[in-house]
Chain A
Amino acid sequence: MPFDIPLALIILFPLAGFAVCGLIGSRMTKPWPGIIASGAVLASFIVALIRVIDLASMPQNVRVISETAYTWISVGALRSDISFLFDPLSAVMILIITGIGFLIHLYSIGYMAEDHNDPEGKLYARYFCWLNLFIAFMSLLVLADNYLLMFVGWEGVGLCSYFLIGYWFKREDAMAACKKAFIVNRIGDFGFLLAMMLIFVVVGSLNYNDVFDAVRNTPQLFSVGILGTIGAATLIPLLLFVGAAGKSAQIPLFVWLPDAMAGPTPVSALIHAATMVTAGVYMVSRSSALFLNAPNIQILICVVGTLTALFAALAALAHTDIKKVLAYSTVSQLGFMFMAVGVGAYAIAIFHVFTHAFFKACLFLGSGSVIHSLHGEQDMDKMGGLAKKMQITNITFLAAGLALAGFFPFAGFFSKDEILAAVINAGSGAPILIACGVIGFIAALLTGIYTGRQYAQVFLGDARDEELYEHAHESGPTMTIPLIILGIGSLVVGFLGMPHFVFIPAWGHAFTNWLEPVFSSGGAAEAPNVILLLIGLLIGWGAWLGGVALGKNAVGVIMPESLRAVSLDAFYNITIVPAGFAIAAACRWIDETFIDGIVNLVGSFVGESSVALRATQTSYVRNYALAMAVGAVIVLAWFVVK
């Protein structure tokens, strides 16, 4: 290239789109805000692609581009600029964000055009305005080169998620869900903030390079004890994981994700499948150097990820709402990603992020296509037999579903099985990880079952509701083209990260090789365990076919009604929510009784004293003369006393 295109453009294009759609979007006719927004994201994608090509042309061990856009904070020891770090990890993330983001923008142009929640179409521009802002913040998050700037992006995507979940702001469920998402995210953000403060206290800087150099060269800095004997080396990774758990919906902070389905379906696809929820995985992977010194925390992460994967998969089996199943599926897959992170297989975790983005987005968009054509119906019990009426949606949903289930040779197989293999391999160091691996296989089995069931319930068999079936139709090209692209992606991208068998050509592990230099611990260069892979392969095939069989026989729910009430939400409603209300009531009492009391006391004191003082204004001259005389006497008395 004759000149270096600044990385800042990747963020500025969607920001400009946000400004345009936000300020004058409401005056444009229907598709234009969408076209402008999609164009902005496409421009970002092109810029990102060009820069990635630049990056690839650099030798492998120095594959880093740093750019500083603006000096932001320079106060005392704290120096945090708007500067970007572009290395293979950010490259992968930014391509996902802008590429899949662009496809979802395209999809949304058609999807949001007929919105039965918004018949007058007044909210259309607002949607694209927030969506663009989201892309801008998410790009900022992955491109930042210091924790503070990443936190800006982190908060920003949380904010946009709030706005987008609560997009139909007249709906009660949407408003409750968006508040819940924001508040639960906040809890995680608190952990992240504490971690950042600790990092600053220990290292003196929030810049990635400074922090990671400090970990590598002067690890003794981190052994300073913070809480008694717990050192910073343990506490910082723990708090970082708390932050990641909030954003990436791990136990116990995943409760916002299923409720977030109250937002429009493309939002669920972009934010709650492909990008925002993977921010936690990105953040932990980026901080891999910090986790190196805390093996206990890594085991904790793996265990939490495993449990999340299992329980979310069980929950997915218990729902009949097409989007809720996908939501719980996302939580489960995120659990898988954290399992990989927990054993240090960061490259594999990011690979799973990559493949998951494709097939989950495809699944969500496909479900959106179904919902759209059925005019808002989301209950799978009322669907069925749509394969004949919506061919493109059918095929792409099938492809993505197979990928999710881990059906060889689709994408999900490679990423998920490498995760499980890595976990079991690492079990040689810590036996608990072997248990995690086994549970992971069970979760993979459940994944296949619920995905197959979902596909069969929606598309195969006979229509369960004739009236809805009559109106069903395939969606327009703005919606089907992204579906096709993502469907093809779900098929093929898996081949970029195949395990290191001898007979596989070099491009087969291009992905992991690409990411190799970024992480501190080993990526995935171990010899693959063939047995585990075969087990995974059989599980993938078997689970899918079993699930399809279940779905065809219209067995919707495996779990009895009573168990559905047992949920983390219910637990929170019993424990934390009343505690919160009690604290709020106490504060209110203090405010009303004490503080207002004091203020009112001052006010009434002034009033009362002025009423008392009014008595001196008798209006009789003689009284005033007496006052003067008494005053003179007092002055004289003072001389007497002196």
Chain B
Amino acid sequence: MVPTSFYILISAVLFTIGALGVLVRRNAIVVFMCVELMLNAANLAFVAAARQYQAMSGQIFVFFVMVIAAAEVAVGLAIIITVFRNRETLDVDSANQLKN
């Protein structure tokens, strides 16, 4: 049995990579994908902890996270499409009218 802390470590690394992606990428859809990556990292941590403490609550939580993530992706992509229709670009840096 692999120790739980390894899984937590993997989860942390995935989370960090996802956060990095959110900060660095300019394409709105890719940013969204990195957000999904972060969510999955959290899911992994939950499942690992559920296994360690033998508590089903962890897996239940993951279940709910997946449901909500699905709903969120749907709505988010709809928003991105609407924004794209207005602006013709997917660059998150294009929203800079509040500069200084």
Contact = CB atoms under 8 A, between A and B. Distances in A.
Given A619-B99, A619-B100, 8 more contacts: A618-B100, A619-B95, A619-B97, A620-B92, A620-B93, A622-B92, A625-B23, A626-B23
A186 to B, nearest CB: 57
Nearest to A623: B23
A622 B96 CA distance: 11
A75 interface: no
A629 B92 CA distance: 17
A629 B99 contact: no
Interface string B8-23: 0000000000010011
7 contacts: A617-B100, A619-B100, A620-B96, A621-B93, A621-B95, A622-B92, A622-B93
A617 B97 CA distance: 11
Interface in B68-100: 92-93, 95-100
Interface in A611-642: 614-615, 617-622, 625-626, 629
A49 B100 CA distance: 84
B98 A622 contact: no
Contacts of A620: 92-93, 95-96
Interface residues of B, number: 13
Contact of B96 (A614, A615, A619, A629): A619
Nearest to A618: B99
Contacts of B99: 617-619
Nearest to B93: A620
Given A622-B23, A626-B23, A614 B92 contact: no
A622 B26 CA distance: 8
Contacts of B24: 622
B23 A629 contact: yes
Q: Which 6 A-B pairs have the closest CB atoms?
A: A619-B99, A619-B98, A619-B96, A626-B23, A621-B92, A614-B100
B74 to A, nearest CB: 22
A625 B22 contact: yes
Interface string A209-230: 0000000000000000000000
Contacts of A618: 96, 99-100
B68 to A, nearest CB: 21
A610 B89 CA distance: 33
Interface in A423-438: none
Contacts of B98: 617, 619
A621 B28 CA distance: 11
Interface in B26-72: 26
B23 to A, nearest CB: 5
Contacts of B97: 619
Which residue of B96, B98, B100 has the most chain A CB atoms within 10 A of its CB atom? B100
A325 B97 CA distance: 84
Given A614-B100, A617-B100, A619-B100, A629 B19 contact: yes
A620 B96 CA distance: 6
B36 to A, nearest CB: 16
B31 to A, nearest CB: 9
Nearest to A626: B23
A276 B100 CA distance: 70
A432 B95 CA distance: 100
B97 to A, nearest CB: 7
A622 B94 CA distance: 11
B2 to A, nearest CB: 25
Contacts of A615: 100
Nearest to A617: B100
A626 B23 CA distance: 6
A617 B96 CA distance: 10
Nearest to B23: A626
A622 B34 CA distance: 13
A620 B19 CA distance: 16
Nearest to A630: B23
Contacts of A619: 95-100
A620 B23 CA distance: 11
Contacts of B96: 618-620
Contacts of B19: 629
Contacts of B23: 622, 625-626, 629
A111 to B, nearest CB: 74
Nearest to B24: A622
Which of A614, A620, A625 gathers most chain B CB within 10 Å?
A620
Contacts of B26: 622
A404 B23 CA distance: 104
Interface string A524-568: 000000000000000000000000000000000000000000000
